[in-house]
Structure 1
Amino acid sequence: MHFHGYLYRGPGEAIKPFDDARRAGTAEFQTATVPPEATSAWLARPARMIQGTWDDPADAVTWLSQQHTEIAGSRMHLEQQREAPPLEAMTSNALDALTRGNDVVWAWWLRGGNFVDLTVACCPNRDGDGRCPIGRADSRPEAASRRPGESSAG
């Protein structure tokens, strides 16, 4: 298993519910830059949309942290985010999630009506069709293939 990072930073108004640009299998989906409805659907987008690929989940979390730092001062309602988890807790949770085979999405509204979506998708993904956008043929470790709450005893 490896990890692909995706970034959307643009007008929040472009992210519309039930929009064909966000739904895999539509013509608009392949050229859209807005986040898809399902996190795993990022993997169905063209490889040129990938911002980074990592074998180690810690490297993917480092990328998330760097992106977070870059936009930290641009987020809306900073005064209301004092109660939000600190970056250290967010990175710890993200590392745990990726290690278990779960995708991670961090998203915030930015000043000026923009929106940022940072996604790290596990590849292959338990919710996708198994194809890697860059053609890698990794497999998922058994523990990462189970859905949360499932046991290996079946």
Structure 2
Amino acid sequence: MHHHGYLWAGSKQRFDEEALRRPPPPDPPPADGRLELIRRYKEVKAEFPVVDLPPLETAYWLIKPRELICGTWDEPKEAAAWLGQRLAEYAPRFASESDRDSTRLKTLANAAAARLDWGGDVSHGFPLERPTFLSLALVCCSPNRAMPELGCPLR
């Protein structure tokens, strides 16, 4: 097992486009259904795998383009260290003063190492200065515990 790190920072309005952050339903709408539903289904089916927006379910990062991977680590502590570095880097921009607390940020990184160690994924989001949002994720790979059918994006 190894771990991939992902970072997304962008407009909160774009982050809130949830239709592009979830996979399309397994079955398309009926061919004689509303044209708007058919159009939207086709758009989401084409865009979800390639759009850089963080997926609502963390494991789905694994189907995104490999170029979105910010790092890959064999050891949970190494992946958690990357998370801790990103948290420290962005902390001055966090909108909430409590989110900037260095003890809290170290606790998040330590908890990430423990979660990754048993095969869980880690995902955090932080409002930055308006209107920006930061999303950080660490995803277990080969296999992913939540979705073992998803392959490694590096293969």
Q: Same fold (TM over 0.5)?
A: yes
Q: Spell out the pairing of 1:135-146 with structure 2 (5 A cutoff).
A: 135=155
Q: Spell out the pairing of 1:5-154 with structure 2 (5 A cutoff).
A: 5-16=5-16, 18-19=18-19, 21-24=20-23, 26-78=45-97, 80-81=98-99, 86-123=104-141, 124-128=143-147, 129-135=149-155
- TM-score between the two structures when normalised by the length of structure 2: 0.78
Deviation for aligned residue 1:81: 3.9
Identity %: 35
Q: How far apart, CA to CA, are the structure 2 residues paired with 1:17 and 1:7? A: 17
AA aligned to 1:134 is L
Q: How far apart, CA to CA, are the structure 1 residues paired with 2:9 and 2:132? A: 7
Number of residue-to-residue matches in the alignment: 133
Q: Cα deviations across residues 69-127 of structure 1 (Å, max 9, x unaligned)?
A: 1111001021x447896222212211110001000112100002100000000002122
Deviation for aligned residue 1:16: 2.6
Unpaired stretches in structure 2, ≥5 consecutive residues: 25-44
Unpaired stretches in structure 1, ≥5 consecutive residues: 136-154
AA aligned to 1:71 is Y
- The runs of at least 4 aligned residues of structure 1 exceeding 3 Å deviation read 80-85
Deviates more, 1:43-52 or 1:125-134: 125-134
Q: 1:3 — aligned with what? A: 3
- TM-score between the two structures when normalised by the length of structure 1: 0.79
AA aligned to 2:22 is R
Q: Cα deviations across residues 3-30 of structure 1 (Å, max 9, x unaligned)?
A: 00011100011123641x2123521113
Deviates more, 1:59-68 or 1:27-36: 27-36
Does the Cα contact within 8 Å between 1:24 and 1:44 map onto a contact in 2?
no
> Relative to 1, partners in 2 of residues 1:51 and 1:57: Cα closer, same or farther, differing over 3 Å?
same
